[in-house]
Structure 1
Amino acid sequence: MSHSGRRAYVNAFPACNLCGESIYSFSTGVFEIIRRNAPKDMNIFSQHNRRIDGRPTVLDEVHFDEMWTWSCTFRVPLSLVTVSFNPFDTSDPEETFHLSGVGELRPRQEICLPQDDNQIILWNYQSHLQNVFPTPKLVSMLANALTFPMHERCWHLMTQILDVELIKKNTKIFAHAMCQPLLLRRPVSNPGRFHTVVAQSELFFGLPGRFRLTPTAFRGMGDEDPSHMPRDFRGADPLNDSYVDKVVAKYASKYTKQREKGSEPTWQPSIPTHTMSRRSQGTFRPRNVFLPTELILNIAGYLEHHKDIQNLLSVFPHWHPMIPDSYWRRRFIDDNCLNNDQFPPEDALDWQHLYLNSDRLLRPSLGWRNRQRILSQLQGTKVRFLRQLKRKGE
Structure 2
Amino acid sequence: MAHPYAELLKDRDVRILWSGLSLSAIGSELFRVGAIWLAAETAGADASLMVTAQAAAMLAVSLLAGPLIEMVPRRTFLVAGEIVSAVGAGLVVVAGLTWGMSLPMLVVSSTALSAIGVMARPVFLSSLPMVAPGKLREVNGLFDSSVRIAQAAGPFLAALALKVMAPIHLLTANAVTFLASALAVALVGRRLENHADRRAAAPGVFRRLARGAYAASACPGVWSVLIATGVRGGGYALGYTVAVPLLFVQGGVGLSGLAIVMGVGATAEIISTPLLVLTQARRPLRRLFQGYVMIGASLSVMGAIAIALTDAPTAWLVASMAAAAALVGVGNSVATLQITTFFASRLASDDYAAVLRLRMVTIIGSMMAATAAGPWILGWLGPAATIAACGVVAAIAGIAGMLSGPARRLGPGFAEPEPKAE
More strand, by proportion = 1
Which TM class, normalised by the smaller chain length? under 0.3
TM-score (normalizing by structure 2): 0.23
More helix, by proportion = 2
Larger Rg: 1
